[in-house]
Structure 1
Amino acid sequence: MDTALATALIPLAALFIVYRQMMTRPTERPGILYVALALVVLGLAKGGIVDSGHLTLSVALVAVEVVCAVAFGMIRAATVRVWRDAAGVTWSKATGWTLLAWVVSIATRVGLYFVGAAFGLALSTGSLLLFIGLTIGVQSLLVTRRGRMLAGTPQRASSLV
């Protein structure tokens, strides 16, 4: 993927995902996990995540990014409202706190980008794809898990139609 194209598409995709989270949706959504996995795979396949010229610093920065991605996914998952309706379907909807956590998450990722640039690391959009894929995947898994933990037997919304 061309860097200029990725620079334009990645924020748009992230905004779309945040927008969708603000809507009421079933907690059982395996599709978002496929998207998250695809982003992680694309990020790894793109390469350039580790700068071989600054190996130690680069690996440390990637480790910090991975920890931040997982932590912010967990934080956002905790802020999402999850409930079960009368039919037994579990639903979720992001809250204002979720939106705030997204803003802090994105600001942190941008900050990490500038830290890497300040240290002279060769940066790639691959690490951004990895970050977004991990953070979305963790959030989705935890929201789904919260839905399943609600009392009763979980049902999928599609099975009721």
Structure 2
Amino acid sequence: MNSAVTPLLIVLVLAYAIYRQFKTRPADRSAVLYISLALIVFGLVSGGVLDSDHLGPSVFMLAIEVVTAVGLGVLRAMTVRIWADAKGVAWSKGTGWTLLAWLASIAVRVAEQFAGSAMGLTVAAGGIMVFVGLTLATQSLVVSSRGRALFGSGTGSYTVER
């Protein structure tokens, strides 16, 4: 893919994902997992996740990025409002805290990019796609889990009537 198109694609996918979180939607967000998986796979295939010229620092930064992507996904998921309607359907909607958590997530990711660059690592879109995919998947899984927890032990499932 053209190197100028990739960042635009990342921004568009992220903007759409954030926009959708502020709409009332079923809490079971399995479609987001497919998009997240596609981002992760595409990021890994496009390369740049590790800098082969600086393998040690690159692996260190990747570990930090994975931990922060997961942690920030959990944080954002905890800011999403979850409720059940009279039919027993779990719903979710982002709050003002969700928006602040997204801004914090973006700021942390930018800081990680600057830190990696200061360490002499090459910044590549592949790493950004993996980060976005991981953080979206984590948030989706936690929101879905919170929705299921409304119906008892959290191990059962719930259905969304369409």
1:15 aligns with 2:11: no
1:87 aligns with 2:90: no
Distance in 2 of aligned mates of 1:113 and 1:3: 17
Question: Equivalent residue for 1:118?
Answer: 118
Q: Deviations over 1:24-75 (max 9, x none)?
A: 0001121111001111111111112111111111111111110110000000
TM-superposed CA distance for 1:6, in Å, is 0.9
Aligned residue runs from structure 1 range 1-161, under 5 A: 1-151=1-151, 154-157=157-160, 160-161=161-162
Percent of pairs with identical residues: 50
Distance in 2 of aligned mates of 1:48 and 1:134: 16
Structure 1 length-normalised TM: 0.94
Q: Deviations over 1:91-127 (max 9, x none)?
A: 0001111110000101111111111112221221110
Structure 2 length-normalised TM: 0.93
Greater CA drift, 81-90 or 109-118: 109-118
TM-superposed CA distance for 1:154, in Å, is 4.8
Unmatched 5+ stretches in structure 1: none
- Alpha-carbon RMSD across the aligned residues, in angstroms, is 1.3
Unmatched 5+ stretches in structure 2: none
Specify the SS of the correspondent of 1:156.
coil
Distance in 2 of aligned mates of 1:155 and 1:141: 14
